[in-house]
Amino acid sequence: MRDEIEIEGEARPAKGAGWKWVYDTLRNDILSLALPPGDLLDETSLAERFGLSRSPVREALIRLSNDALVVTLPNRSTIVAPIDVVSFPKYVEALDILQRMNTRLAAELRTPADLKAIGKRQKDFEAAVRKGNHLAMSEANKQFHMAIARAGRNSYLASFYDRLLDQGRRILHLHFEYLERTHDGYLLTDEHDQMIEAIRDQDVERADALAHAHTRQFRDNFINFMTENYSKGVTLTQNAL
Mean pLDDT of 144-154: 98
User: Does residue 6 sit in helix, strand or coil?
Assistant: strand
9-80 and 88-229 share one fold: no
Q: DSSP letter for 132, please.
A: T
pLDDT level of residue 230 (50, 70, 90 thresholds): low
Please give the class, per CATH, of domain 9-80: mainly alpha
pLDDT value at residue 12: 62
pLDDT at 228: 73
41: alpha, beta or left? (left if phi > 0; alpha if psi -120 to 50)? beta
What's the one-letter identity of residue 127?
A
Q: How far is CA 5 from the centre of its chain?
A: 29
Q: Fill in the amino acid letter for 201.
A: D
Please report, for the chain, the start and end positions of each structural domain, with discontinuous segments joined by +. Answer: 9-80, 88-229
* CA 102/CA 106 separation, integer angstroms: 6
- Neighbouring-strand partners of residue 116: none
Residue 124 CA neighbour count, 13 Å, CB half = 18
Helix, coil or strand: residue 93: helix
Distances (CA, A) of 201 to 79, 104, 154, 205, 219: 47, 12, 20, 11, 27
Report d(CA 153, CA 150) in Å as an integer: 5
pLDDT tens digit sequence for 128-146: 988 888 889 999 999 999 9
pLDDT of residue 104: 98
- Do the Cβ atoms of 103 and 151 come closer than 8 Å? no
For residue range 61-106, list pLDDT tens digits in order.
999 999 989 999 988 899 999 988 888 999 999 999 999 999 999 9
Residues in CB range of 123: below 8 A, 6 or more apart:
none
CATH for 88-229 is 1.20.120.530
CA angle (225 as vertex; 224, 227 as ends), nearest 5: 65
- What is the distance between the alpha carbons of residues 233 and 78, in angstroms, rounded to a whole number? 28
pLDDT by residue (tens digit) across 153-187? 999 999 999 999 988 888 888 777 777 776 554 55
pTM given for the model: 0.80
Count of C-beta atoms within a 10 Å radius of residue 183: 7
- Would you say residue 16 has pLDDT above 90? no
